[in-house]
């Protein structure tokens, strides 16, 4: 099965729910196993208070989560088999999604963390804002005027956020290069 | 009554009123712009409220809440698109009215009924809230465990189109709430050896991550193209006294529906506006006109979705149970300030209670004035493209997340939770159960463990208690009904396909 076919299949509800069921089953299954290794912080090395301790709630809910994941797997496998045995596959027109834009936005927001920690909240936020707004702006609307406006907004907004936070609410924000 | 007036006096200063005007205005913008939400509005202001003095902070929060709950009527009527689930039904007649050139009438009536419905529901909150709190004072851990767990169950079951996915969403929220030290014995859970996780995940980056980042990523994925809005000129109120008098019956019925639904946990303005519209259509002498642009179709949903405010606040303040995503996030403000919601809230913090009542009422008046006279300004702000607004909100949220623990780690939490929420949305998993699971999960666990300590680890008292047993019975019946309804719908679908 190639990547494109997999992406096409994942647009169908049954395959999406099947994948979600698999993820939920594995994730919560691991969480249940981890719960057997919880140690009591107040009585180190000892069991938690009584026979029902800190592991009870995680075990109950994560087991339920895992069971529901399994339920989704089973019901969707049945639905897929019924669908295949029934009529021919209906090829839907795929909705147009800009996944590249999503990936770039995720990368930018991760970079924002490093920008704030190294350059400070004002410079880091300004750089992020400028790049993110330009990335989201349609190509035909990226004129000199809009670029200048974006630059002004990118500098103005972090400054407008910094001063009230620092001097009215008395919250220290990372200074970065202004230390 | 004396405390009410002294709370009113304490708020009568330029700083508090100034912040309330700001909060109401920003709330209206967040409520109106598709892509921004009331939940996000409150989440964005949480770091500021946290650092403010209590009176000013809660006044600001209530102003944002009122503004954001009523702002959605502007886009519903002028653009004919809802933007929020709580204003879906307003578009059915509000949009056509604007197209027919009756936008001013629709807006004027919607603003006035929103104001009246909210004020009435707040007065009910002021009287019913303390009464319910008195009733709930006798509740012990068995009853509270039943209330919190059943609320979780109902939220998971009634929101979204899939019961298993709704419950999994709630469990994800509970899992996030379990990170860190367990209640009662302090055992470390799911910290993966990371020291920053020992104290658990702070509520600020969790809430902001859950609601802010997915908005940006959804916009990046599918750009939302909106027409430019034009504000119609409203002369007077926009409608005649005779038109208003003709809507009194509709208003009363819709208000009762909205308030009643608001009191029930899980259902909120998203359900009340549609139910009220359907009821108005059924009771109308001219049901065939609904959907063509009649004022009845605007009055019903706008009355109901604002009437839920008082009902939602009653369960939040008196029982400590958030009724929907918005109140769940608002609960975060109380948690940050170290205020425990529930029946003792009214007796332990009467000054805060009265500040909340007064702030809600003042915010209603501010909302009325601002929406009538500031409509052109709001429409101008709403015309600011989302590709500029959303990154600004991101920066605000990232910095707000930082302020929760003064560490960069919190911004990381904001990003991770945001990505998790975005991925869950891609799988059509509702997010409201997740936030309610995060807020109620630790509370319900604490009650469970306290109850088990009292009962020497027996589970029987949890169902033997009459109140707890009744709550469990009602909730389980509700869920069974939901399952049966799902099976019947599935069978009906299969029969239709075979035919």
pLDDT one-digit tens code per residue, B219-255: 888 766 666 666 677 677 778 888 899 999 999 999 9
To the nearest whole Å, the CA of A111 is away from the closest chain B CA by 11
pLDDT at B314 over 70: yes
Interchain CB distance below 8 Å, A72 and B165: yes
Which two tokens mark A108?
């930018």
Interchain CB distance below 8 Å, A136 and B181: no
CB nearest to B392's CB, from A51, A104, A157 = A157
CB neighbours of B79 closer than 8 A, spacing ≥ 6?
B34, B95, B226, B227, B229
- Chain centre to alpha carbon of residue B10: 27
- B265-303 confidence digits (pLDDT tens): 666 677 788 889 988 988 888 888 888 889 999 999 999
pLDDT of B300 reads 94
- Residues 78 to 117 of A: which have CB under 8 A from any B CB? 95-99, 101-102, 104-106, 109-110, 112-113, 116-117
To the nearest whole Å, the CA of A3 is away from the closest chain B CA by 18
**Whole-number Å distance between alpha carbons of B278 and B266:** 20
Interchain CB distance below 8 Å, B172 and A65: yes
Looking at residues B3-32, what average pLDDT do you find?
86
Whose tokens are 């299949």? That residue is A9
Chain B residue numbers with beta carbons less than 8 Å from the beta carbon of A161 are 395-396, 399
Interchain CB distance below 8 Å, A101 and B220: yes
Mean pLDDT of chain B: 85
- Chain centre to alpha carbon of residue B407: 29
Interchain CB distance below 8 Å, B171 and A61: yes
pLDDT at B12 over 90: no
- B106-141 confidence digits (pLDDT tens): 989 999 999 999 999 999 988 888 888 888 778 888
To the nearest whole Å, the CA of B118 is away from the closest chain A CA by 31
**Whole-number Å distance between alpha carbons of B226 and B217:** 17
When comparing pLDDT for B185 and A102, which is higher?
A: A102
pLDDT of A107 reads 93
pLDDT of B248 reads 94
**Whole-number Å distance between alpha carbons of B121 and B268:** 14
Taking each helix axis from N to C terminus, what angle separates B296-314 and B88-99, rounded to the nearest 10 degrees?
150
Report the chain B residue with the minimal C-alpha distance to residue A31. Answer: B190
- The pLDDT-based confidence of B399 (bands split at 50, 70, 90) is confident
Most B CBs within 10 A among A109, A131, A145, A161, hence the mutation to make, goes to A109
Chain A residue numbers with beta carbons less than 8 Å from the beta carbon of B398 are 109, 112-113, 116, 125
Most B CBs within 10 A among A26, A60, A61, hence the mutation to make, goes to A61
Q: Compute φ and ψ for B180, nearest 5 degrees.
A: 110, -150
pLDDT of B120 reads 94
Check if the beta carbon of residue B29 is closer than 8 Å to that of residue B71: yes
CB neighbours of B216 closer than 8 A, spacing ≥ 6?
A105, A109, B390, B391, B393, B394
- A124-174 confidence digits (pLDDT tens): 999 999 999 998 888 888 888 889 989 999 999 888 888 877 887 777 787
Report the chain B residue with the minimal C-alpha distance to residue A130. Answer: B391
B181 three-class SS: strand
- Give percent helix, percent strand, percent coil of chain A, each to the nearest 5: 70, 0, 30
Interchain CB distance below 8 Å, A161 and B172: no
**Whole-number Å distance between alpha carbons of B94 and B81:** 9
- Residues 113 to 172 of A: which have CB under 8 A from any B CB? 113, 116-117, 121, 125, 128-129, 132-133, 136-138, 150, 153, 157-158, 161, 165, 169-172
CB nearest to B51's CB, from A19, A49, A169 = A169
B106 three-class SS: helix
CB nearest to A50's CB, from B164, B168, B457 = B457
CB nearest to A101's CB, from B186, B221, B412 = B221
- Least reliable range by pLDDT among A84-98, B20-34, B258-272, B310-324: A84-98
Check if the beta carbon of residue B313 is closer than 8 Å to that of residue B129: yes
pLDDT of A1 reads 56
CB atoms within 10 A of CB B403: 21
Looking at residues B402-406, what average pLDDT do you find?
81
Looking at residues B75-94, what average pLDDT do you find?
81
Interchain CB distance below 8 Å, A113 and B185: no
Q: How many residues does chain B have?
A: 499
Check if the beta carbon of residue B239 is closer than 8 Å to that of residue B295: yes
To the nearest whole Å, the CA of A156 is away from the closest chain B CA by 11
Q: Is A60 on the interface with B (CB under 8 A)?
A: no
pLDDT at B198 over 80: yes
Check if the beta carbon of residue B255 is closer than 8 Å to that of residue B117: yes
Chain B residue numbers with beta carbons less than 8 Å from the beta carbon of A34 are 190
**Whole-number Å distance between alpha carbons of B78 and B94:** 8
pLDDT at B194 over 50: yes
Q: Compute φ and ψ for A147, nearest 5 degrees.
A: -65, -40
Q: Is A32 on the interface with B (CB under 8 A)?
A: no
- A45-81 confidence digits (pLDDT tens): 444 445 678 888 999 999 999 999 999 999 999 988 9
pTM of the prediction?
A: 0.81
Report the chain A residue with the minimal C-alpha distance to residue B441. Answer: A57
To the nearest whole Å, the CA of A175 is away from the closest chain B CA by 12
**Among B18, B2, B120, B112, which residue's Cα sits nearest to residue B59?**
B18
Interchain CB distance below 8 Å, A52 and B449: yes
Chain A residue numbers with beta carbons less than 8 Å from the beta carbon of B412 are 113
Interchain CB distance below 8 Å, A40 and B190: no
B180 three-class SS: strand
pLDDT at B440 over 90: no
């Amino acid at each position: 099965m190639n990547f494109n076919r997999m992406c096409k299949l994942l647009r169908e509800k049954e395959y999406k729910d099947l994948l979600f069921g698999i993820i939920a089953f594995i994730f919560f299954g691991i969480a249940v196993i981890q719960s057997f290794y919880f140690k009591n912080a107040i009585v180190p090395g000892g069991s938690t208070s009584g026979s029902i301790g800190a592991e009870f709630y995680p075990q109950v809910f994560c087991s339920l989560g895992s069971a529901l994941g399994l339920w989704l797997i089973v019901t969707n496998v049945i639905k897929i088999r019924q669908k295949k045995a029934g009529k021919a596959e209906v090829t839907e027109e795929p909705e147009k999604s800009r996944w590249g834009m999503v990936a770039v936005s995720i990368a930018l927001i991760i970079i924002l963390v490093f920008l704030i920690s190294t350059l400070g909240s004002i410079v880091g936020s300004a750089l992020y804002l400028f790049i993110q707004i330009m990335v989201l702006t349609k190509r035909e609307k990226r004129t000199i005027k809009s670029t200048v406006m974006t630059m002004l907004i990118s500098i103005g907004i972090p400054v407008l956020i910094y001063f009230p936070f620092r001097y009215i609410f008395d919250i220290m924000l990372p200074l970065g290069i202004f230390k | 009554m004396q405390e009410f007036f002294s709370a009113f006096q304490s708020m009568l200063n330029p700083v508090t009123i100034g912040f309330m005007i700001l909060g109401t205005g920003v709330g209206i913008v967040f409520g109106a712009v598709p892509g921004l939400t009331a939940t996000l509005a409150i989440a964005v202001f949480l770091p500021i409220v946290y650092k403010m003095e209590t009176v000013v902070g809660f006044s600001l929060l209530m102003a944002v809440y009122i503004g954001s709950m009523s702002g959605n009527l502007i886009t519903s009527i002028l653009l004919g698109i809802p933007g929020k689930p709580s204003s879906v039904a307003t578009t059915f007649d509000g949009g056509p009215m604007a197209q027919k050139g009756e936008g001013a009438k629709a807006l004027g009536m919607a603003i006035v009924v929103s104001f009246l419905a909210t004020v009435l529901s707040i007065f009910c909150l002021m009287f019913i809230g303390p009464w319910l709190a008195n009733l709930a004072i006798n509740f012990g851990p068995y009853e509270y465990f039943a209330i919190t767990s059943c609320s979780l169950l109902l939220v998971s079951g009634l929101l979204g189109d899939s019961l298993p996915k709704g419950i999994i969403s709630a469990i994800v929220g509970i899992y996030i709430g379990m990170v860190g030290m367990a209640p009662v014995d302090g055992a470390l859970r799911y910290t993966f050896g990371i020291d920053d996780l020992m104290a658990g995940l702070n509520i600020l980056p969790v809430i902001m991550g859950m609601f802010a980042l997915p908005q940006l990523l959804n916009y990046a994925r599918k750009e939302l193209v909106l027409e430019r809005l034009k504000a119609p000129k409203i002369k007077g109120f926009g409608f005649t006294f005779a038109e208003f008098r003709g809507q009194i019956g509709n208003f009363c019925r819709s208000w009762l529906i909205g308030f009643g639904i608001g009191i029930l946990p899980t259902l909120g303005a998203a359900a009340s506006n549609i139910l009220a519209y359907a009821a108005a259509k059924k009771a109308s002498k001219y049901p065939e006109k609904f959907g063509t642009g009649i004022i009845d179709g605007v009055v019903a949903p706008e009355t109901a979705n604002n009437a839920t405010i008082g009902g939602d606040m009653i369960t939040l303040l008196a029982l400590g149970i958030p009724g929907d995503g918005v109140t769940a996030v608002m609960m975060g403000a109380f948690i940050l300030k170290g205020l425990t919601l529930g029946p003792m809230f009214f007796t332990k913090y009467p000054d805060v209670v009265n500040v909340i009542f007064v702030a809600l009422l003042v915010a209603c008046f501010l909302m009325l004035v601002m929406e009538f006279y500031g409509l052109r300004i709001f429409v101008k702000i709403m015309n600011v493209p989302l590709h500029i607004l959303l990154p600004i909100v991101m920066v605000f949220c990232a910095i707000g997340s930082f302020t929760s623990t003064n560490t960069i780690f919190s911004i990381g939490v904001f990003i991770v939770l945001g990505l998790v929420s975005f991925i869950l949305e891609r799988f059509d998993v509702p997010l409201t159960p997740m936030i309610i699971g995060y807020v109620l999960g630790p509370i319900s666990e604490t009650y469970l463990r306290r109850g088990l300590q009292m009962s020497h680890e027996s589970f029987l008292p949890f169902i033997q208690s009459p109140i707890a047993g009744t709550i469990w019975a009602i909730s389980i019946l509700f869920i069974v009904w939901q399952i049966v309804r799902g099976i019947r719908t599935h069978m009906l679908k299969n029969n239709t396909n075979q035919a």
